[in-house]
Amino acid sequence: MPILSIDGLEKIFSSANRKEKVLKGINLEITKGEITALTGASGSGKSTLLTIAAGLQKSTAGTIIFQNEALTDMNPRQVRAIRAKKFGFVFQHAHLVPFLTVQEQLELMMDTAELKWSKDRRNEEIKSILDLVDMWGHRDSYPGTLSGGGKQRVAIARAVVHKPEMLFADEPTASLDSKRSMEVMKLLRTLSRERNITVLMVTHEEETLEYADTIVQMKDGVIGKE
Ligand SMILES: Nc1ncnc2c1ncn2[C@@H]1O[C@H](COP(=O)(O)OP(=O)(O)OP(=O)(O)O)[C@@H](O)[C@H]1O
């Protein structure tokens, strides 16, 4: 049974003089614990699909079912609660808060998810995820002192420290060189395998696709045939 089902999804962007149908009836099932990669030409609708699936923007038509509940029928407060507690996000740039240490970035995320964990539990989870991304030694560092790859590993740790069900990643390796990109992809695979986190990612980099369990090719707002 899929963790996320997308059925007949459409998105139209309208402005005063123009209407553009960017998603033209997307049907997609995301399997729990897998890495699904959305790929395809620039402008094919990958980021639009990812952000709608993640509840970051609304669709024009269609349904999205997450763990048996229709995200598309929820009010904004309900969607926000799912996003904060069950989803994690990583983008092309790490978007770390410049005046917080690595550990404080993670604590902020746990506060946002309103976790009822004890101080000891919080510390254990922070240690465990920073060990996994090989950044425990940098827990007291500020983002400005970290390398690009280091920042992105912290961003991934922050995205999953609250133990979300799904991680949405929009071009997570696009600002990294090839070696660092592969490290990030290995990390995403470890998260999916060891922590059973389902990953939906957008990528246009061919070499990252070997880490995906399922590759979804998009073309002009529809899912193309492989
Ligand atoms: N907020 C918006 N308002 C109007 N048009 C938009 C908006 N967001 C995206 N679009 C348009 O929708 C189309 C699809 O954009 P989207 O970013 O989803 O594509 P993409 O496949 O992720 O492309 P890329 O690989 O370049 O990021 C593009 O033509 C884009 O200009």
pLDDT digits 0-9 by tens, 3-43: 999 999 999 999 888 999 999 999 999 999 999 999 999 99
Residue located nearest, by CA, to atom 29 of ligand 1:
43
Tell me if 166 is assigned to some domain: yes
Q: Is the complex ipTM higher than 0.90?
A: yes
Would the CB of 42 count as within 6 Å of ligand 1? yes
What is the residue with the minimal CA distance to atom 30 of ligand 1? 43
What pLDDT score was predicted for residue 68? Answer: 92
Task: In whole angstroms, give the CA distance from residue 5 to residue 135.
Answer: 34
Residue 115 placed within a domain = yes
- Residue 219 alpha carbon to ligand 1 centre in Å: 12
Q: Does residue 22 form part of some domain? A: no
Q: How many Cβ atoms from other residues are within 10 Å of residue 190's Cβ?
A: 13
How far lies 118's CA from each of 15, 85, 111, 121, 158, in Å?
A: 49, 17, 12, 5, 18
Residues of the chain with pLDDT under 50: none
- Three-state SS for 113? coil
Q: Tell me if 46 CB under 6 Å of ligand 1.
A: yes
- The CB density around residue 97, as the number of other CB atoms within 10 Å, is 12
Instruction: Kindly state whether residue 201 falls inside one of the protein's structural domains.
Output: yes
Cβ–ligand 1 distance for 203 under 6 Å, the answer no
Ligand 1 pocket: which of 11, 26, 47 to mutate (most atoms within 8 A of CB)? 47
Structural domain includes residue 141? yes
User: Which tokens go with 184?
Assistant: 């990030």
What is the model's pLDDT at position 225?
57
| Mean pLDDT (the chain, rounded) | 93
Q: What is the pLDDT of residue 113?
A: 87
**Would you say residue 85 lies in a domain?**
yes
What's the angle, vertex CA 32, arms to CA 27 and CA 37, rounded to 5? Answer: 60
By most ligand atoms within 8 Å of CB, the mutation choice from 15, 23, 44, 60 for ligand 1 is: 44
**Which CATH number fits the domain that encloses residue 157?**
3.40.50.300
- Over residues 178-203, the pLDDT tens digits come to 988 999 999 999 999 999 999 999 99
Contact present, 21 and 10 (Cβ < 8 Å): yes
| In-domain check, residue 159 | yes
Considering its fold, how many domains does the chain have in total? Answer: 1
pLDDT of residue 66: 96
Segments of 71-177 assigned E as strands:
87-90, 166-170
Ligand 1 geometric centre to CA of 124 (Å)? 40
Q: State in Å: Cα 221 to ligand 1 middle.
A: 10
Neighbouring residues of 72: CB distance < 8 A, sequence distance ≥ 6: 59, 62, 63, 64
80 CA from centroid of ligand 1 (Å): 23
Long-range contacts of 40-46 (CB under 8 A, 24+ apart): 40/204, 40/217, 40/218, 40/219, 40/224, 41/218, 41/219, 42/204, 44/218, 44/219, 44/220, 44/221, 45/11, 45/218, 45/220, 45/221, 46/202, 46/218
Looking at residue 115, its pLDDT comes to 85
* Domain coverage including residue 130: 32-47+76-223
Is residue 36 a part of any domain in this protein? yes
